[in-house]
Amino acid sequence: MAALLEIRDLDIAFGRGKNAVQCADGVSLDVQAGEIVCVVGESGCGKSITALSVMGLLPGQGRVTGGSIRFAGRELTDMTDAQMDALRGREMAMIFQDIMYSLNPVLTIGLQMTEGMRRHLKLSREEAAARAVQLLQKVGIPDAGTAMRKFPHQLSGGQRQRVMIAMALSCSPRLLIADEPTTALDMTVQRQILMLIRQLRDEGMGVLLITHDIGVVAELADRVVVMYAGQCVESADVHTLLTNPQHPYTQALLSAVPGLDDPKERRLYAIPGAVPERYDTLQGCRFAPRCPHAEECGKQPQYAMGEHPVRCERTVNA
């Protein structure tokens, strides 16, 4: 059965000609209906840009330069703006990471909550308002009726984040892309939102969840995709990836996570170096400058879809 979302060999670049900078290189991943796929990796690895490309919302001069994005069997890279507008909000929705710029500062929460429902679901003003209040209550907004009359600046950062989540869910999309959806939320509300996402998964929604929190991955994910320097470097079901990581980068990420049973005196592992700024100019393995095993290989690693693909020649040939 075809996946709800299929991304194959996706290339994304900013700029044109000699000034073009590639920020995603051959990205491939699937999301099935009723599945949560978590994408992890350091900041700057291409996670959010990949998600924005699915929604057709690449900023500035960003553009898809190669590969395929298929949603429910339909190729998205060939769609017009009008066709994408019909899909966004109704069939697929996104919770954005930057909440400060995701809500219109001059419109009330109520107007922003009901706009999509009136357009896509053809609800009356009263019906849309009633559904909006229910959704705000569902994501933990106190006194939702009063919140509907407020402007974004009158809400806390955590409340604005919850409003964004409610808006994304307002038309019951088939695919939800969540980019750090629990940022700025306290632990109690974070738990509530994560349980809501799990409930949506159980009801058949496909979820692509971008996170830095390995605890969230362990609790929610069905499968995990690890990205580094614009490439997918490892993908597996969550149990396999957490218990038997193969790529040195994945191993390093997990080593940097503190555990409850760790001795207090243990120093947390820190991955040496940083994600390169112009990784599109690197040849061969992009993790090699930071990899403790780089001297053992140094050739061209390959990555292909499968049960447990790994972009590491040392691991593949072991």
The per-residue pLDDT for range 192-226, each reduced to its tens digit, is 888 889 999 999 999 999 998 888 999 999 999 99
20 and 168 together in one domain:
no
82 and 136 together in one domain:
no
pLDDT tens for each residue of 137-181: 988 898 999 999 999 999 988 888 889 989 999 999 999 999 988
- Give the number of domains in the chain: 2
In the predicted structure, residue 242 carries a pLDDT above the cut 90: yes
Residue 127 lies in a domain: yes
142 and 180 together in one domain:
no
112 and 77 together in one domain:
no
147 and 182 together in one domain:
no
pTM comes to: 0.91
Residue 193 lies in a domain: no
280 and 212 together in one domain:
yes
Q: Are 5 and 175 in contact (CB under 8 A)?
A: yes
243 and 309 together in one domain:
yes
Q: Of 106 and 182, which is predicted with more confidence?
A: 106
Residue 47 lies in a domain: yes
The tokens for 243 are 């218990």
The tokens for 232 are 């997918």
Residue 195 lies in a domain: no
301 and 181 together in one domain:
yes
Q: What angle do CA 141, 145, 149 make, to 5 degrees?
A: 100
**pLDDT band (50, 70, 90) for residue 184:** low
70 and 39 together in one domain:
yes
Residue 244 lies in a domain: yes
pLDDT tens for each residue of 270-289: 888 888 888 877 888 889 88
Please state, rounded to an integer, the average pLDDT across all residues of the chain: 89
Residue 21 lies in a domain: yes
DSSP-assigned states of every residue in 216-285: HHHHH-SEEEEEETTEEEEEEEHHHHHHS--SHHHHHHHHTS--TTS-TTPPPP--SS---TTGGG--S-
Identify the CATH number of the domain in which residue 31 sits.
3.40.50.300
214 and 310 together in one domain:
yes
Residue 120 lies in a domain: yes
How many CB atoms within 10 Å of residue 198? 14
pLDDT at 288: 87
| Angstrom distance (rounded) from CA 120 to CA 134 | 18
Residue 303 DSSP label: -
Range of the domain at 286: 5-91+174-188+204-316
Residues in the chain: 318
184 and 126 together in one domain:
no
Residue 198 lies in a domain: no
How many CB atoms within 10 Å of residue 250? 25
73 and 180 together in one domain:
yes
